[in-house]
Structure 1
Amino acid sequence: MVENDFVPAGYTAQSERGKVTWRAPSNIALVKYWGKRENQIPANPSLSFTLDACNTTTSLSYEKRNGKRTDFSFELFFEGKAKDDFKPKIELFFKRTKHYLPFLKDYHFKIETSNSFPHSSGIASSASGMAALSLCLMDLEKQLDPDMGMDFMLQKASFLARLGSGSACRSIQGNLIQWGAHSGIPGSSDQYGIQYPFRVHKVFKNYHDTILLVDKGKKQVSSTMGHNLMHGHPFADNRFKQAHENISRLKPVFADGNLKEFINIVESEALTLHAMMMTSEPYFMLMKPNTLEIIHKIWEFRRESNSNLCFTLDAGANVHVLYPEFEKEKVHQFIKNELIVFCEKEQYICDRIGFGAKRLKSVSDNLYG
């Protein structure tokens, strides 16, 4: 699929008003996306686990507008309260997607959104938020084009979500999602995420992710600024090459359930992400002292217990502790005994691998039963 494939030829049905609701999960990248080109195109491919408990629920109420329409019309509510400071991001998203959703100016929208995780918890909500909104808009387009297949709907939702937030394209489906063109991954694309097409050992299908909230404050550097710092970065080309190589290295790992090699690749990816930020211009140190304390504790515990837990990081101080289902009790006890003391107010979130977004029942529901 290419961009023009997502431009509708026309609509065969109408919808005057209605309401749809979707819940979309966050995701955690195993191979990191860091650096992008124009139009939200990634500089390197990435691979992520879709999560479950950390999600965004978005309801989209829509009503047909009358008269000449030259602008977008929408109101936005976050957890029940008007959120005008979010509106510029939605406006930009609508501008980027209007070519692919030509009905956008025909309706007034009421967007109501909420997160399952606490506000300012340090968990990025742009991926789950843009994924949920994109699915709501595609739900409306499916009503206008009843012949649209579900596979195409989900693929286009991923394409649209990417235009709002790059990693959001990995929050439509689950449980293991590839985004970015890679010569060894058939069907992979810079335009949207795809479900990983190769064999995945059962040990990776019920993995856990406990998120240790080291720092719940506002991010020191925005994702957009961070990605832009890769332009002209002295190590950028080698980093992009490394990402391609790590995705190739993970193919036999996922097939065979090789947890030791999984740990090596995932932790290296996390530290490389932060190394790129520490060596950019300007440079940033997004890990906190407690981030490093947790990492050393994890290494010590793994060495002494022969456990298979590991860590990964996003572009911040929080630590994602990854571990297989069969070690859940042992790792939970370790986290409670040794790690939560390094979290802000001892707060953490227990999550696990999920299987993608879900449409929720609403009063106007007549499409999916």
Structure 2
Amino acid sequence: MSVRLKLTLSYAGFLMLAGALLLAAVWVFLLRYVPEVIDTIGGIRTLKADLVRAFAPAAAAVLAFLLVFGLLGGWILAGSMLAPLARITHATRLAANGSLSHRIQLEGGKDEFRELADAFDTMLARLEAHVAEQRRFAANASHELRTPLAITQTLLDVARNDLNRDTGELVDRLHFVNTRAIELTEALLLLSRADQRSFTREHVDLSLIAEEATETLLPLAEKRGLTIETSGDITPTIGSYALLLQMATNLMHNAIVHNLAEQGTVWVTTSLHPKTVVLTVENTGEKLSPLLVSTLTEPFQRGTQRIRGDHSGVGLGLAIVKSIAQAHDGILTLIPRPAGGLCVTVQLPVAPDQEQDR
């Protein structure tokens, strides 16, 4: 049976039960206060027998009316109550068929159906945004992967058609292009791993991770004439040491590569708060608009005048940082510096034992 039919039978059965109890109460009242016999001019008359003959048909008619009224009213009432559920079901079927732009937008007060519809609309909005993001990512990834493959194919065609060409230069260019393709593939795999949260969590100190990332990239900073200033507190958190190290390394690499040509500075700070630990990487550089900064965490977005070089990366640095932060229940914030450059802040939950100590 459908839910509407079940509700209809429930309403009708409850109405019949209430009517039967009411008639039973009336019958008991009459039996208690009406005498069994009465003297009349013609003799003795049995009142209770007359009462039964008069009451029984009327009671049966009332119960029959209540049954019909309960079934009809219950059917209408159940249909009215389940109408929002029908709209939710229709939206679910549309979503199952691939239409994610449809919204229920249920009117009325804040009842259970309204809350369910609003939650479903929110889920559809997030799902639509996620699907759109995945489509853009797939298109961008395909384009980025196609580029080194196309260059490799061109170089091989040149080598095949010109056998007298110097192979040393060709091998060097092929090696460079192949290295870029490998870096891109590894970045895509790392991004997928962070999105799936398929890693083991352990106690780590974010300040030590930032220190290791700084030491690793210090030669690159010195080569570019940059100064790195570090400071901060012990910042215990829970997560993957390898992923968090990759996150800090990406932030440091981004701050070094996209800096001033001369006399630039990178500031690395860690701080401990009651509920969170914070890693801040700030760098000098060109002035960036808030609109441009809001797109930098999207895959393959490099910003204005961010031209590829030997250390420019594959355009997934901040996208990987965002995914790793979200996988650790953290928050990534990017703010353009008024004097130029970028200030990136990552907030992660503090380790539970440290939170209790504080």
**TM-score interval, smaller chain:** under 0.3
Higher Cα radius of gyration = 2
Q: Which has the higher strand share?
A: 1
Structure that is richer in helix per residue? 2
Q: Structure 2-normalised TM-score?
A: 0.22
Query: So what's the TM-score if we normalise by structure 1?
Result: 0.22
Higher relative contact order (CA 8 A, sep 6+): 1
